[in-house]
Structure 1
Amino acid sequence: MADNISLIVGLGNPGPEYENTRHNAGFWLVETLARQNGIRLSPDRKFHGLVGKGRIGQQECWLLMPSTFMNRSGLAVQALASFYRLTPANILVVHDELDLPPGTARFKTGGGHGGQNGLRDIISQLGNNKDFHRLRIGIGHPGDKNLVTGHVLGKASVADDKVIRAAIDEACAVLPEALKGNMGAAMNRLHSFKG
């Protein structure tokens, strides 16, 4: 298996009460990608989530939205990766990022979990392997660590929501390049985007 990305995982929490919360930015991106590329996401109990497969640009790719809560995201990722013999290098995890302002999105490969519970569980389920790709969707920081939970589980302001979704649209536009293996070109375009 080449090191091309063949699985894109969006992180979020299931259920209507979480649908529009900042923590679900990963879900928003996968839903946008599915809609733009005509990929149907269907519940699959074996993979603990909503799963679809289709063509993004020139590449076949799996899309996955775990239906477990955020802190158990690794269950779905590990199940699908192991079934289809995917390595961490084949996986891109999309998640909300407190340390980036709304309207920005950044690629990153490897690294720790930075307190993000979904990443923490994925790293653990992949046998402490951190070498998967990440796409971090900026949601901004509330300024005080005691306000973080309410911030990530709250809805973004109208202005923030607009720029977060603009960054998601831009990320979806560059993903075909990333999937082809041109991560540098995808990064250059996305990292210069100002939402």
Structure 2
Amino acid sequence: MEKYLIVGLGNPGDEYQGTRHNTGFMILDAFAKASNIVFDDRRYGFITQTAIKGRQVTLLKPTTFMNLSGNAVRYWLGKEKIPQRHLLVCVDDIALPLGHFRLKANGSNGGHNGLGNIQQLIGHNYARLRMGVGNEFPRGRQVEWVLGRYSDDELKTLQPAIDTAVEIIRSFVLAGIDITMNQFNKLGR
């Protein structure tokens, strides 16, 4: 059976719920809800599993905090014996406007500390789904922006992209990264 690891980056704890930096968690929560599965608190993160047409899919929301996400990713890749090419990391991105997204097969961390830690521990060769959270913050206020909560209007703008992210995860598992990029990146605006 082919195995996949889908990771949503964020910070654990109620104080971070609904923040821009927890957009990766929001994507995985939407996927879990659509799949009628629930997360369990396990080592290094909240974990749940499902199958899509005979493929095992493990969803991970690390509890290691954003800047140490690589520990959880490395552990679960190894524990489940999942090849790195079957890893997709969902993450917030201030370089993209709110509700825009970009799927990439590999690349740099783009200044994102969570991706930076993952790359430090496992390298650059894994897929990532970057979800735009906008960048309407004054110079030097980036941390306040990403740790700030979405407004109701922002959530309305973001929701269609989260719904699309659920479809992207399914496509990544069933069709692979290249076909999924070709199909969805044009929708990301």
TM over 0.5: yes
Q: Unpaired runs of 5+ in structure 1?
A: none
Cα distance in 2 between the residues matched to 1:160 and 1:189: 25
Identity of aligned residues (%): 34
* 2:150 corresponds to: 156
Report the Cα offset of residue 168 of structure 1.
Answer: 0.8
* 1:24 corresponds to: 22
* 1:178 corresponds to: 172
* Contact 1:39-1:52 at 8 Å conserved across structures: yes
* 2:115 corresponds to: 119
* TM-score normalised to structure 2 length: 0.91
Matched, 1:131 2:131: no
Matched, 1:80 2:79: no
Cα distance in 1 between the residues matched to 2:185 and 2:46: 29
Q: Unpaired runs of 5+ in structure 2?
A: none
* Contact 1:53-1:63 at 8 Å conserved across structures: yes
Count of residue correspondences: 189
Cα distance in 2 between the residues matched to 1:56 and 1:169: 17
Matched, 1:146 2:159: no
Q: Root-mean-square deviation (CA), in Å?
A: 2.0
Cα distance in 1 between the residues matched to 2:188 and 2:87: 26
User: 1:140-195: per-residue Cα shift (whole Å, max 9, x none)?
Assistant: 11254412111100012322221212101012123222211343443344323368
* TM-score normalised to structure 1 length: 0.88
* Helix, strand or coil at the partner of 1:155: coil
Matched, 1:68 2:64: yes
